[in-house]
Amino acid sequence: MSKKTKITALVVLNFIIYISLGLPDSILGSAWPSMRTNYNMGAEQVSYLTTAMLLFSFLSSMAYSQIARKWQDAQIIFISMWLVIIGLALMIVTDNPYVLFLSTPFMGLGQGAIDVTVNHFAAKHLPSSLMSLLHGFYGVGVSLSAGILTVFLTIFASWRMAIGFIGMIELAILALIWFNRGHFSDDKTVPNTTSDEENQAEEKPSEPFYLRYLLIPTFYFFYAIEPVLGIFIASYYVEVFHVSDSLAALYTTLFWLGLTIGRFLTGALTRFFRDKALIFGHLVLLIVLSGTLLLPPKSYTLLLIVAVGLSLAPLYPLMMMLPNRRHSNGIAKRIISYNVAATLLGILVFPLILGFLFKQFGFDLFPIVILFMAVILCCLAGIIYQKKA
């Protein structure tokens, strides 16, 4: 197989895996109103399921560097996808809520391990443009599963059939990965598509893990600003400006749309701008746009919310490129595993804390919180690039 063919296959496989990673993530959000009646559970109990999944994802992310010493990337992806498929199967085989909760370790462990593995592999072998597109395809997976659930609930009134269909897609992707597992070899035969200008770090002997290496995971902890916006922006406009529920839902949709479109645009922009320029340019834009959340909603608010999503788009994928450019493979793997774990921890911690604060002091705090988190991200990015952490 020619080098060009290997590179194309590698890129396509990573895109497909990231679609598969996004497929399960909108299931509970879309199907829970129907699912909970079968399980005789309350609307609020979905938070227990999502929290459990996040905890198990956090654990598998933290353990990745140890797992990677024993298993190759292809093995980790293959086993992790089987765990996700088992979790999906457990969701639909019974109406017992205990079995539903039993699905959470399978879903969480599988999703967390795939996330770290693909992020590390792509950051090591793909350029910034393709790394950004990769994360855009995660949004494709989330949107696709939401669409599948909508169709099956509308036509067949069956969330089980929808999850079963998503499981079949995962099985098809699993088979594709198995037959192409050779592309995920960690040896030097894997084509490296990063350019010399990107200054990717050479493989080095074993080196100590310094405390300053945790600066990038700290950045990802505060990157919880993305789910915070996704979770609370609708409630903010309803509670503070008394917009309709449908308009508030539209605002949320536009935010995620802006983020997904932005990831694809970032892939093109990396051909003209350096990663550092894109990161700091978008962080400044995010700080400016945070202030616009104080403005009462008008027709221009639709564009402003899309722009907020766009401002976040390059941060997650481009910062994930740094460890492999600065450190040996072993250190880079560890930092990236901590990056994903820190993101999951932020998703767990910030909504809980902010939910309590908003309940006590009202949603008027929301723009201030977003501005504060945006400034923290900008400061952390400055320190990371200054110290080469």
| Domain range annotation of the chain | 3-183, 211-387
Report whether pLDDT(371) > 90.
Answer: yes
Report whether pLDDT(138) > 70.
Answer: yes
Report whether pLDDT(361) > 70.
Answer: yes
Give CA–CA dist 182/190, Å, rounded.
9
Q: Categorize the per-residue pLDDT at 34 as very low, low, confident or very high, splitting at 50, 70 and 90.
A: confident
Predicted pLDDT at 188: 45
Q: What letters, b where the CB count within 10 A reaches 16 and e where it falls short, cover 202-234?
A: eeeeeeeeeeebbbbbbbbbbbbbbebbbbbbb
- Which of 32-36, 41-45, 381-385 has the lowest average pLDDT? 41-45
- The two domains 3-183 and 211-387 share their CATH topology (first three levels equal): yes
More confident residue, 359 or 278: 278
- What is the CATH architecture assignment of 211-387? Up-down Bundle (1.20)
Three-state secondary-structure class, residue 7: helix
Please answer whether residues 128 and 198 qualify as being in contact, where contact means their C-beta atoms are separated by less than 8 angstroms. Answer: yes
Predicted pLDDT at 6: 67
Tokens describing residue 234: 């609708």
State the DSSP code for 201: P
More confident residue, 308 or 234: 308
Residue 381 CB contacts under 8 Å (≥ 6 apart), including other chains: 219, 279, 280, 283, 319
Q: Categorize the per-residue pLDDT at 198 as very low, low, confident or very high, splitting at 50, 70 and 90.
A: very low
Please answer whether residues 1 and 178 qualify as being in contact, where contact means their C-beta atoms are separated by less than 8 angstroms. Answer: no
Please answer whether residues 129 and 267 qualify as being in contact, where contact means their C-beta atoms are separated by less than 8 angstroms. Answer: yes
Predicted pLDDT at 118: 82
Give CA–CA dist 22/277, Å, rounded.
28
Predicted pLDDT at 187: 46
Predicted pLDDT at 2: 58
CA-based nearest residue to 384, from 208, 209, 222, 217? 217
6-21: average pLDDT: 82
Query: Which CATH topology does 3-183 take?
Result: Growth Hormone; Chain: A; (1.20.1250)
3-24: average pLDDT: 80
Please answer whether residues 80 and 109 qualify as being in contact, where contact means their C-beta atoms are separated by less than 8 angstroms. Answer: yes
